[in-house]
Amino acid sequence: MNEYDSNRILDLVKPIGYISTNNPSEADCYVLNTCHIREKATDKVYHDIGRLKKEFRNRKKPMLLVTGCVAQAENEEMFNREKYIDGVVGPQSYHQIPDIIKKIENNKNKINSTEFEVIEKFDCLNSVQNSNSKVSSFLTIQEGCDKFCHFCVVPYTRGPEYSRSFNEIINEAKQLIANGAKEITLLGQNVNAYAYKTPTRTFRLADLIIQLNDLKELKRIRYTTSHPKDVTKDLIEAHKTCKKLMPILHLPVQSGSSKILNAMNRKHTIEEYLEIINDLKKARPNIKFSSDFIIGYPGETEDDFNHTLNLVEKIEFINSYSFIYSSRPGTPASKLNTVDQKIAKKRLIKLQEMLEKINTKSKKEFLNASIEVLFENKLKRQNKYFGRDKFLNSVIVGSEKDLTGRTLNIEINDFNHNSLFGKILHNEKKITQLN
Ligand code: SF4
């Protein structure tokens, strides 16, 4: 979502004369768009500012705005801690950046804008063309979260759930397609909680997918991040009927133990999670899943952890994220006793070994097979192109010709931890088509 927001910030400041630069040392204005989800996010911001100060030590200071969730969480405190900062702008106020820049230019005052003005923000953004021209583009449809998982800061930094208007999203999708997008990933902190209400009906995520599925130039649709509680019947049906919807779903589970899920306030059990997975598999037999795991959540026993391992083995999640629980100030879980860090680390290593084994197995299945790849860009200084298969695996292929934006069948002949490697297939008949 920060990538989407950063692109939109750029669209907003173009009319007041700012453009992006590939040479950071010549910038007149820096926007540090921050994420608060990982531990030490705040330290990283101050570290980056330290580097910036060094770079500009003997030159005119550039304007510096800190935006995003760290700005929201730290607020006024940022000015106290770092005088170099000129503006602190929360994720729901970034539509005000052009005004903020002008005010700072004129008055040299420091400005804090951290209200939750999400309706105003999207009203403003709807009037500004989205100029992103990537083959695979992000499109925010929903923001905020009302779930209040006990470990998470998002409800406090991004605010309550808000869904953008159905028509505005479709219009923006058409803009992105006109700019060259072949794949659109619909974004939201709780993307499948999308619910845009009009006097006559409520539009859901499935309605958006169905409409996008009909746009001729668009080849692929994805959405992230979902909450199991909001996987509705119509969304499962969309996985069956909308062929452009890719057969991979990132569905965070966090733990394989219902006891821990309850302690986390995740609002579902493991049995319910498994039922959703089964329903999705019935709708789309080749679907694969990725997930997020928090290891060593307060109260997690060896037995709870073993439930997580069992779940991973059963579902065979690919490309997943796993972390040791780390406390976020102000969240309910921050008041609880943490699991011994040595034990948590051991568990994490065990889980990651299992995830890696599954990843390797899943990549091995691609060897000597044909897969369909959408190419996104050329690698720097090499005649190689980067693309993704339907399951989001990155694929690298050598080519003298420009492959950007093309969907091609690729024969896979090697892989490593991160990527599959192959060659363009001219004679498809000989090998198995995997997806
Ligand atoms: S559903 Fe996701 S964003 Fe919302 S509180 Fe839980 S972890 Fe955070």
Cβ(323)–Cβ(397) below 8 Å: no
Residue 427: the pLDDT is 58
Q: How far is the CA of 292 from the centre of ligand 1 (A)?
A: 11
Give the DSSP letter string of 85-140: --EEE-TTSGGGHHHHHHHHHHH---EEE----HHHHHHHHHTS------SEEEEE
As a whole number of angstroms, the distance between CA 75 and CA 81 comes to 11
Q: What is the DSSP letter of 245?
A: B
Ligand 1 atom at shortest distance from the alpha carbon of 227: 1
Report the 10 Å Cβ neighbour count for 160: 11
Tokens of 380: 């720097």
Q: How far is the CA of 149 from the centre of ligand 1 (A)?
A: 5
As a whole number of angstroms, the distance between CA 306 and CA 259 comes to 13
pLDDT along the chain (435 residues), means of 10: 92 94 91 84 90 90 93 89 93 91 86 81 87 94 95 89 96 96 97 96 98 97 96 98 97 98 97 98 97 97 98 95 91 93 97 96 93 95 93 96 95 94 75 54
Q: What angle, rounded to 10 degrees, do the helices at 270-283 and 302-315 form?
A: 0
Ligand 1 atom at shortest distance from the alpha carbon of 155: 5
Residues with CB under 6 A from ligand 1: 145, 147-149, 152, 154-155, 189-190, 227
Report the 10 Å Cβ neighbour count for 416: 10
As a whole number of angstroms, the distance between CA 177 and CA 181 comes to 4
Tokens of 244: 């452009």
Q: How far is the CA of 145 from the centre of ligand 1 (A)?
A: 6
Cβ(172)–Cβ(139) below 8 Å: yes
Q: How far is the CA of 257 from the centre of ligand 1 (A)?
A: 18
| Closest residue to atom 1 of ligand 1, CA basis | 147
Residue 344: the pLDDT is 96
Report the 10 Å Cβ neighbour count for 282: 12
Report the 10 Å Cβ neighbour count for 423: 12
Ligand 1 atom at shortest distance from the alpha carbon of 145: 4
| Closest residue to atom 6 of ligand 1, CA basis | 149
Residue 157: the pLDDT is 85
How far lies 56's CA from each of 27, 61, 62, 159, 264, in Å? 10, 6, 8, 35, 45
Residue 112: the pLDDT is 82
pTM of the model: 0.90
| Run of H or E including 376 | strand 370-378
Asked if the bond preceding 140 is cis, omega within 30° of 0, the reply is: no
Tokens of 20: 């992006």
Q: How far is the CA of 90 from the centre of ligand 1 (A)?
A: 18
